[in-house]
Structure 1
Amino acid sequence: MYILQESLFSFEELLKMQSKERLPIFFSSLDLRPYAKELRSRSPRGADGHCRQGILRALLAAPLEGIATLTALHHRLSTDLRFRYQCGLSLDREAPSISTLSRVFADVTKKELAKRLFEDLVAHLRLEGVLDGSHVAIDSTAIRAYERKQPKRKSEQTGNANWGVKLDSFGNKITWFGYKLHLAVDTKSELPLVLEVTPAHVNDGEKAPGLMEQAASRTAPRFFMLDAGYDQLKVYEAARNVKAQAIIPLNLRREKEPPAGMRSNGTPCCSMGYAMTYWGADGDILKFRCPHATGKVDCPLGMAACSSSNYGMVVKVDVREDLRRYCHPHRDTKRWKALYNERTSVERCNARLKCSLTADALHVRGIEKVTTHLYLNAIVLLASAVAASRLAKAVA
Structure 2
Amino acid sequence: MAIIPQMNLFSWTEIEELGDLDRLRLVIEYLPDDKLMRTLEKERKNGRDDYPIRVVWNTILAGVVFEHKSIESLIRELNRNAQLRWLCGIENGKVPPSYVYSRFMKKLIDNEDEIEAIFLTLVEQISEVLPDFGKSLAIDGKAIPSFANRKNKNEKEDGRRDTDADHGVKSYRGKREDGSTWEKIVRWFGYKLHLVVDAVYELPVFFSVTKASVPDINEAHKLLEKMKKTTSIA
**Letter aligned with residue 208 of structure 1:** A
User: What is the aligned partner in structure 2 of residue 325 from structure 1?
Assistant: none
Q: Structure 1: which 5+ runs fail to align?
A: 1-7, 222-396
Give the 3 Å change call, closer, same or farther, for CA 31–117 of structure 1 in structure 2: closer
Taking every aligned residue pair, what percent have the same amino acid on both sides?
Answer: 27
1:278-327 per-position Cα deviation (integer Å, ceiling 9, x unaligned): xxxxxxxxxxxxxxxxxxxxxxxxxxxxxxxxxxxxxxxxxxxxxxxxxx
Verify the 8 A CA contact 2:31 2:118 in the aligned structure 1.
no
1:321-351 per-position Cα deviation (integer Å, ceiling 9, x unaligned): xxxxxxxxxxxxxxxxxxxxxxxxxxxxxxx
Q: Secondary structure at the match of 1:201?
A: coil
**Letter aligned with residue 168 of structure 1:** Y
Which among 166, 170, 178 is matched to residue 166 of structure 1?
A: 170
Verify the 8 A CA contact 1:136 1:186 in the aligned structure 2.
yes
Q: Secondary structure at the match of 2:35?
A: helix
Task: Say if 2:205 is the partner of 1:193.
Answer: yes
Verify the 8 A CA contact 1:131 1:191 in the aligned structure 2.
no
User: What is the aligned partner in structure 1 of residue 128 from structure 2?
Assistant: 127
Give the 3 Å change call, closer, same or farther, for CA 86–45 of structure 1 in structure 2: closer
Q: Secondary structure at the match of 1:28?
A: helix
- Structure 1 CA distance, aligned partners of 2:151 and 2:142? 21
Q: Secondary structure at the match of 2:226?
A: helix
User: What is the aligned partner in structure 1 of residue 71 from structure 2?
Assistant: 70
User: What is the aligned partner in structure 2 of residue 322 from structure 1?
Assistant: none
User: What is the aligned partner in structure 1 of residue 96 from structure 2?
Assistant: 96
User: What is the aligned partner in structure 2 of residue 33 from structure 1?
Assistant: 34
Q: Secondary structure at the match of 2:197?
A: strand
Normalising to structure 1: TM-score of the pair?
Answer: 0.47
Give the 3 Å change call, closer, same or farther, for CA 14–98 of structure 1 in structure 2: farther
Larger strand share, 1 or 2: 2
Q: Secondary structure at the match of 1:108?
A: helix
- Structure 2 CA distance, aligned partners of 1:45 and 1:144? 33
1:143-171 per-position Cα deviation (integer Å, ceiling 9, x unaligned): 333343469xx8xxx87332223321326
Verify the 8 A CA contact 1:180 1:197 in the aligned structure 2.
yes
1:120-140 per-position Cα deviation (integer Å, ceiling 9, x unaligned): 211221222276112211122
**Letter aligned with residue 145 of structure 1:** S
Verify the 8 A CA contact 1:131 1:186 in the aligned structure 2.
no
Shift of residue 107 of structure 1? Answer: 0.7
- Structure 2 CA distance, aligned partners of 1:18 and 1:103? 30
Task: Say if 2:194 is the partner of 1:182.
Answer: yes
1:152-191 per-position Cα deviation (integer Å, ceiling 9, x unaligned): xx8xxx8733222332132625141232221111122211
Q: Secondary structure at the match of 1:38?
A: helix
User: What is the aligned partner in structure 1 of residue 20 from structure 2?
Assistant: 19
Q: Structure 2: which 5+ runs fail to align?
A: 1-8, 156-161, 175-181
Shift of residue 45 of structure 1? Answer: 4.9
Normalising to structure 2: TM-score of the pair?
Answer: 0.75
- Structure 1 CA distance, aligned partners of 2:10 and 2:166? 35
1:39-59 per-position Cα deviation (integer Å, ceiling 9, x unaligned): 12544354x332212221211
Give the 3 Å change call, closer, same or farther, for CA 23–175 of structure 1 in structure 2: closer
User: What is the aligned partner in structure 2 of residue 87 from structure 1?
Assistant: 88
Shift of residue 213 of structure 1? Answer: 1.3
User: What is the aligned partner in structure 2 of residue 374 from structure 1?
Assistant: none
Bigger radius of gyration, 1 or 2? 1
Task: Say if 2:139 is the partner of 1:138.
Answer: yes
Task: Point out 4+ residue stretches in structure 1 off by more than 6 angstroms.
Answer: none
Give the 3 Å change call, closer, same or farther, for CA 172–160 of structure 1 in structure 2: farther
User: What is the aligned partner in structure 2 of residue 384 from structure 1?
Assistant: none
User: What is the aligned partner in structure 1 of residue 214 from structure 2?
Assistant: 202
User: What is the aligned partner in structure 2 of residue 212 from structure 1?
Assistant: 224
